[in-house]
């Protein structure tokens, strides 16, 4: 029985899909339409009570929160495909650290830009220029820290690609594309090289084939 991943056109599910490709784990996808509120219907809320994407079903086992799902598969299938956790427990700690940084420092301002530049006025979002400005400033400061880190380390957690790097791909893809802020990446030599490296991985290219919730201009 193959893993089912819900909502493949959206960003957070792609976080899961890129990891499943890296781990050589077969999966199929189930579409969910956020614009029609499919994620607020009882059938979906039974799987994911917060109404967010993604959720996976693996036989009887249901799991939600993309960063929990990728941790689960990276650990369960550690010896299959790419090792995304690190060899020693200390390396794994650094993977956890940078995955938390992605979730708490990178994702919030990036997500504001996604909502206010890409998605507004859908989902009842009124574009807030102040918030866009503040978010870009915050994101720039975070990327300065990344620039320093990546000048000393090939990947975020060390000399190996990990969950921490891959977790950035969906929103970085939006940032350099439809959000129109590629310069934030390109202006930073080491961040730029790191982005080129991780975004050219075959696993990520396969994810892009699942499309997006809108047309990229």
Query: Rule CB under 8 A: which residues touch other proteins?
Result: 49-50, 61, 63-65, 67-69, 71-72, 75-76, 89-90, 92-94, 96-97, 99-101, 103-105, 142, 145, 148-149
- Smallest CA-to-CA distance from 97 within 112, 110, 86 is with 86
38 near 44, Cβ under 8 Å? yes
In the complex, what is the shortest distance from the CB of residue 172 to other proteins, in angstroms, rounded to a whole number?
19
Partners of 55 in the β-ladder: 64
In the complex, what is the shortest distance from the CB of residue 75 to other proteins, in angstroms, rounded to a whole number?
7
CA distances from 6 to 25, 51, 124, 166, 201 (A): 16, 12, 23, 19, 23
CB count in 10 Å sphere of residue 214: 12
Nearer to other proteins, 162 or 201 (CB): 162
What span, in angstroms and rounded, lies between the C-alpha atoms of 43 and 22? 30
In the complex, what is the shortest distance from the CB of residue 180 to other proteins, in angstroms, rounded to a whole number?
26
In the complex, what is the shortest distance from the CB of residue 156 to other proteins, in angstroms, rounded to a whole number?
12
Nearer to other proteins, 163 or 201 (CB): 163
> Six-digit token pair at 211?
């499309």
In the complex, what is the shortest distance from the CB of residue 34 to other proteins, in angstroms, rounded to a whole number?
17
Nearer to other proteins, 71 or 201 (CB): 71
Nearer to other proteins, 2 or 208 (CB): 2
- Residues near 210 by beta carbon (within 8 Å), at least 6 away in sequence: 8, 9, 14, 17, 29
Nearer to other proteins, 69 or 201 (CB): 69
């Amino acid at each position: 029985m193959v893993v089912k991943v819900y909502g493949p056109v959206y960003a957070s599910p792609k976080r899961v899909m890129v990891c499943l490709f890296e781990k050589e784990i077969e999966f199929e996808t189930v579409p969910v339409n956020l614009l029609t509120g499919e994620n607020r219907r009882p059938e979906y809320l039974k799987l994911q009570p917060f109404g967010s994407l993604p959720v996976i079903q693996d036989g009887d086992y249901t799991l939600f929160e993309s960063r929990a799902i990728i941790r689960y598969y990276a650990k369960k299938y550690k010896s299959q495909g790419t090792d995304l956790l690190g060899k020693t427990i200390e390396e794994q700690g650094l993977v956890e650290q940078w995955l938390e940084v992605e979730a708490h420092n990178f994702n919030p301002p990036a997500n504001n830009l996604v909502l206010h530049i890409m998605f507004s006025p859908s989902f009842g979002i009124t574009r807030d220029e102040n918030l866009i400005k503040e978010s870009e400033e915050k994101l720039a400061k975070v990327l300065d820290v990344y620039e320093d880190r990546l000048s000393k380390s090939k990947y975020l957690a060390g000399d190996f690609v990990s969950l921490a790097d891959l977790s950035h791909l969906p929103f970085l893809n939006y940032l350099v594309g439809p959000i129109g802020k590629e310069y934030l990446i390109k202006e930073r030599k080491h961040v730029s090289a790191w982005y080129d490296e991780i975004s050219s991985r075959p696993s990520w290219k396969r994810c892009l084939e699942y499309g997006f919730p809108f047309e990229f201009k």
